[in-house]
Structures are given as C-alpha cells and as structure tokens.
Amino acid sequence: MGYAKVNGLRLWYEVHGAGRPLVLLHGGYGTTGMFAPILPALTTRRRVIAVDLQGHGRTADIDRPLRYESMADDVAGLLRHLDLAEADVLGYSLGGGVAVRAAIQHPGLLRRLVLVSTPCRRRGWYPEVLAAMAAQDERFGERMRGTPAHERYARVAPRPEDWPRLWAKTGDLLRREYDWSAEVAALTVPTLLVYADADSIPVTHMAEFFGLLGGGHRDAGGDGANRPASRLAVLPGLTHHDIVTSPALPAAVLPFLTHQVHAPR
C-alpha cells in the first residue's frame, strides 16, 4: 500500500493477492474499500490493485477539474509507475467511465476491460438519475455529512474538510455531456459489460452499448464461432447500488478474465 506520484497527484493504491494484475476503480464518493466484500473472491486468482481516484479516499484533491479523461491518464500513470506493461481493469459506475477512457486513451495498457453499471454516453442513465446528478453540489455534500459514505471518507481522507468540495467537483463532472459511442465502437480490447437487472441504466442502453462492441448482431452458431470477443452479463435481483458487493459479480467477472478469447469482433 502506498502513494504513487502521478500527474501532480499522490495517488493511493493497494495491492492484494498474487497473479495477473487486475485494477479496481471505485464509484463516485467511494474508496478502495467499496470492493471489500468481493476482494477475497478476486484475490484467489488475481493480483488486485485498488485505486483511490482524484479527491476520493486517501488521494487528496489537486487544483484540477474532475474529468474522466484526466483520471484515466492517472490510472495509466500508475501502471507505468508499477512497471506493468498491461493489466486488466474493472471500473464501477464513475470508475467505469474512467476505465472506458483508459481503454480509449491508452489501448496498449489494457488486456481486458470490465465495466460495471456504466453507460457509454451521459444520456444512457435514466432521466431521474440524471436529475439527481444535476443536483449534486457543495450544499448537497453538506447535507450528506454523517452518511456512511461521508464516514468512510472522513476516516481516511488526508483533508476531511474537502468533502463538500468533492461533491461540487463531482457534480460539475456529472453535468457535462459526453458520448463515447464512436470511440467505443473502435475499441479492440475484449470487454465485459455487467449490469444489474434493476440498474440505473435502462436495458435498452445496455443492448446499445453491447452492440457497439460487436454483440447482439447475429446468432453465434452451433459452435459459437460467430460470438463476439466482448460479453454482456445482466445479474438478476440486484440494483446499481448493491451489484458491486454481490458475490454474483466476481462469479461473472473471473471466467471472462481467465478464459482465452479467440473470436474477433
């Protein structure tokens, strides 16, 4: 465990287990601890590198806007700091957006990509979720003091007083329009999309995203020869908020990371 000096940040990371590296990127207002319930399952087969993104957890904020693109560069910088030629990356929600951008901006560094509860464009969220995102600001952060997320942050943050600032900068990020569809369609890294069946993202967008990755266009055939390199998993009985702690998540992810993928997109 420790800090890597990357792009002006002191980026916190933790290493657990042994094997091929798997980088974990948490969701908004989270920390590396967000993955604690599934970490034992993941570390049975992998060397897990969990990261606190800019302004989150043990990584103090700097004078830089919160952007998916710059945080993706931070992740790439960490991999180079650790002298890793390539790694698998799993991102959840906000961390999924960072993971998408890492795949787009640094394609040679990613072996496999896992996106959990992540859209490929801002309008991929339900309208009511977008409305809630638009309301996030410093005053909203003040009202969130005393919640479990705030308590986790306050226990580890170098500057706990930055909590409202994190909400202001995250709100600014979440209100920005983006559509990565064309760049996603050009990705060659094998990708697993994982969603809850009661996620904050409609099933229609899940299918759209999978289609951009080459999925859902034709029957795979009796021998599966026409199956795309990427995969789609919709986990039953879960929501956007509990999918990341469910044992069903590593059960879906580990086979994808382990099995060799032959099929072209």
Domain boundaries, the chain: 2-125+179-258
Adjacent-strand bridge partners of 9: 6
Q: Is 180 left (phi over 0), alpha (psi -120 to 50) or beta?
A: alpha
Nearest to 257 by CA among 240, 235, 221, 233: 233
Beta strands 21-25; 47-52: pairing state: parallel
- The predicted model scores a pTM of 0.96
pLDDT at 265: 43
**pLDDT by 10-residue block (mean), the chain, 265 residues:** 95 96 97 96 96 98 97 98 96 98 96 98 98 96 94 96 97 97 97 98 98 92 88 98 97 91 50
104 and 180 Cβ atoms separated by less than 8 Å: yes
Task: Write the CATH number of the domain with boundaries 2-125+179-258.
Answer: 3.40.50.1820
